[in-house]
Structure 1
Amino acid sequence: MNRKVVIVLLVVATLAVAGGLAMFFESMKVDPAKNLDSSKLPTVRVQEVKYSSIESPIIEKGRLLSNLEVNLSSEVAGRIVESGVPLKVGQKFRKGDLLIKIYDKDAKMDLRAQKSRFLNKLAENLPDIKVDYPDNFENWMNFFNSIKLDERIPDLPEVQSTQEKVFMASRNILGEFYAIKSAEVKLEKRKIYAPFDGSFVEVNTQVGSVAGMGSKLAGIIESKNLELQVPVDSEDIKWLRLNDEVEVLDSNGDLLCMGKLVRKSEFVDQGTQSVSVFVKLKNHKVDLYQGQFLTARFNGKQISEAMEIPRTAVFSSNKVYVLENDLMKSRRVNVLKRNENSLIFTGLKEGEILIIEPPVKATENMKVQVR
């Protein structure tokens, strides 16, 4: 019996000592102070709100196009013969060069035959003209003598009376004269000359092939008169004005030449929601080619009483965070212009502390420290 009591007393004593030790060690443990270690608070970058006048450029890439692009079509049918300028894509030519020639020997012979018949008709009627219209006979005689089979027919003498006009019409002199003029025009259409210095960008025929009436033979461009077509966001088009000076930059961002804004489209591209503007290049000293991509830097419009911040500072399109008593507070702002990496806004009070680099997973009333 005494042995059992001793065992129980030893167990109780052991438990008491263990409990006492546990309480002692627990009392030695220091509770960590919550949020007292500032090194664990998220850090932010801030900037004081201060408004000023801002001139924000608009920088966009565009593609060079020729100001003059012409499709060459045949107005007569016939076989294409050698003209001197090779019918090859990329072939350059000078203004006035013969680009395309359609075989014309048969047309020339037909025209000579028409003039010969016309001379014969005039010769038959000159005696009647001398008798009936002696005051105008010398003019008709000079006209007759000046007609050359290989040259353009000269202008008709001026008819001096109604009776003379009736006489010429009744003998079909007027009809045959204008038939010859029409044949001369058709003969000229067998040769197509270059209207400017340029080059071929498309060729749909070759020497020896037959050109059909109205068929497209080639496409040419004026190589020195270039424009830069630049798509501009529809929201930014309001900042651009005609005749503005524009900086044209190469692929490295270096200034290539100056240009002038000459046209703005009046419609929006459905695919890109952009509006095309056209910049005429001036005094470029390096060779440029149609289809080449360049960068245009527009000055844009000066915006007064505004501030520019990184786009990363804005969330939900038009909200930012400001700092109040080390807590983040959201504010709505009025966005005036969006750039590639920044935006311009108003809507906050000057002097407020704007968070321009908020932490990841930022929330309202989050406690932060300034970097």
Structure 2
Amino acid sequence: MRKIILSILGVLFIIGAFIIAKNLIDNKNKPRPVAAKVIKTVFTDTVKNTTIPIVIPANGNLTAKQRVEIYSEVQGVFRNGSYLFKPGQTYRKGQTLIRVDASEYYASVQSSKSGLYNSIAAIMPDLRLDFPDIFSKWQSYLNSFDLNKTTPKLPEMSSDKENYFITGRGIITSYYNVKNLEQRLSKYTISAPFNGILTEALATEGSLIRSGQKLGEFINPSVYEMEVSISKTFANILKVGESVALTNLDKTESYTGKVSRVNGSIDATTQTITAFIEVTDDNLKEGMYLEANLNAKSIDNAIEINRNLLTDNQEIFVIKDSILDVIPAKPVHFSDTKVVLQDVPNGTVILKRQVPGAYSGMIVKPFVETKDN
């Protein structure tokens, strides 16, 4: 009986193993579900070759085109003037910026002028006797001589005898000594060379000024220049007089300048050339930082696209029958974000935006913009 039970259990175990094995085999051969193919939607653009202007970005700080560093050539005490010598003070052309006490030096100048006058007066009797034809000329000179005014120019010599006579009396030497002293006396007063504003003051009223001491800086706030450095590639293209668009850092204000000068040499270290942009505006201040866009040249039969659309192999993606393909392109100019290309046929459909993982042969769906009725 026991053997019969064991035999039955063995048969059942074999049948169960067979059924389990059959189920495993059936499940293994069951076809897997096919994943749905995803077609990416892309933004496209149609090529239309035009003339592309090449714009060179540059930046720099504004400096006054007319700037004067004020130095003293004489020594003395700084005397008060009509206006305080302080930064921000405006002056008109000819107004006194600085007046140095010249009372002592003025007395020596007056003494020399008096000596010249006496020397000429001493020869007048001899001129009346020996040179009666020129006596009236020198008499008129003496009559116009004023110690409180600038020494007038000596009369013109009409003959060699007159020249020898006047020179032999030391009058010519005395005259030029006086003119030299008067010239130095004028340095005790520094006047504004143009309408402008004082931007730096290094001396105060009542202080002792020494010869060679820097006293301040004076600028014309109506015209400014900005120095920019550009690639040597554009050395023969950039022209004086070209209009330049300028903006501030916040892009809130725009100005228009022009190229006033272009340096004739290239910096050997940076291989750049320096250009100067002149700009005029009441809202500008010295030291302001501006960005400039210089129009260098124009390229015919070209297009401009984003730099990330150009592959490392100098190719761009095109769309033919909803399939991506690549064609060679000829880049002629790179900017920070754009590239200018030539030799791309008109009517070619290209990508407008970069597609992650794009490859030649990839099936895509061009994006079609729908218009609301």
Name the TM tier (shorter chain). Answer: 0.7 to 0.9
Residue 167 of structure 2 aligns to which amino acid in structure 1?
A
Report the alpha carbon displacement of residue 318 of structure 1 after superposing the two structures with TM.
4.1
After superposition, the Cα gap between the structure-2 partners of 1:75 and 1:263, relative to the gap in structure 1 and judged at 3 Å, is same
Q: Which residue of 2 aligns with 1:186?
A: 184
Structure 2 residue 8 is matched with structure 1 residue 10: no
CA distance in 2, matches of 1:127, 1:317: 102
Alpha carbon RMSD of aligned pairs, Å? Answer: 3.1
In 2, Cα distance between equivalents of 1:98 and 1:56: 49
| Counterparts of 2:116 and 2:315, CA distance in 1 | 88
Question: Aligned partners of 1:47, 1:131: CA distance in 2, in Å?
Answer: 105
1:369 corresponds in structure 2 to 364
* 2:300 aligned partner: 304
Alignment-derived partner of residue 164 in structure 1: 162
Please give the residue correspondences for 1:98-247 in structure 2 after superposition, counting only pairs within 5 Å: 98-232=96-230, 240-247=238-245
Does the 8 Å CA contact 1:46/1:370 hold for their aligned counterparts? no
- What corresponds to 2:26 in structure 1? 24
Counterpart residue type for residue 6 of structure 1? I
Q: Which stretch has the larger CA shift, 148-157 or 333-342?
A: 333-342
Per the alignment, residue 359 of structure 1 pairs with: 355
Call closer, same or farther: CA 1:19–1:238 in 2, change over 3 Å: farther
Match of 1:47 in 2: 45
Deviation at 1:42, TM superposition (A): 5.2
TM-score, length of structure 1 as denominator length: 0.84
Which whole-Å CA distance do the structure 1 matches of 2:233 and 2:8 have between them? 94
1:35-80 CA distance string (max 9 Å, x none): x6232x5554333444222345555544332110111122222222
1:293 lines up with 2:289 in the alignment: yes
Q: Which stretch shows the higher mean deviation, 312-321 or 113-122?
A: 312-321
Mapped contact 1:312–1:356 kept (Cα < 8 A):
no
Count the aligned residue pairs. 364
Q: Would the aligned equivalents of 1:229 and 1:278 in 2 still touch at CA under 8 Å?
A: yes
C-alpha distance in structure 2 between counterparts of 1:107 and 1:330, whole Å: 87
Q: Which amino acid aligns with 2:297?
A: K
**Partner AA of 1:137 in structure 2:** F
Shift of 1:192: 0.9
Could you report, residue by residue, the CA deviation over 1:147-201 in whole angstroms, capped at 9, with x for unpaired residues?
2211111111222222322222222111111100111111111111111111112
Instruction: Provide Cα deviations, 1:285-337, integer angstroms capped at 9, x if missing partner.
Output: x4321122344454553321001112221243944334567665555532223
Moved more, 106-115 or 294-303: 294-303
TM-score (norm 2): 0.84
Mapped partners of 2:312, 2:36: distance in 1: 32
Question: What percentage of residue pairs aligned between the two structures are identical?
Answer: 24
Aligned residue number for residue 370 of structure 2: none
Uncovered stretches (5+) of structure 2, i.e. residues with no partner = 367-373
- Contiguous gaps of at least 5 residues in structure 1: none
Query: How many Å separate the matches in 2 of 1:194 and 1:227?
Result: 21
For structure 1, which segment, 127-136 or 66-75, has the greater mean C-alpha deviation from structure 2 after superposition? 127-136
> How far off is 1:252 after superposition?
5.9
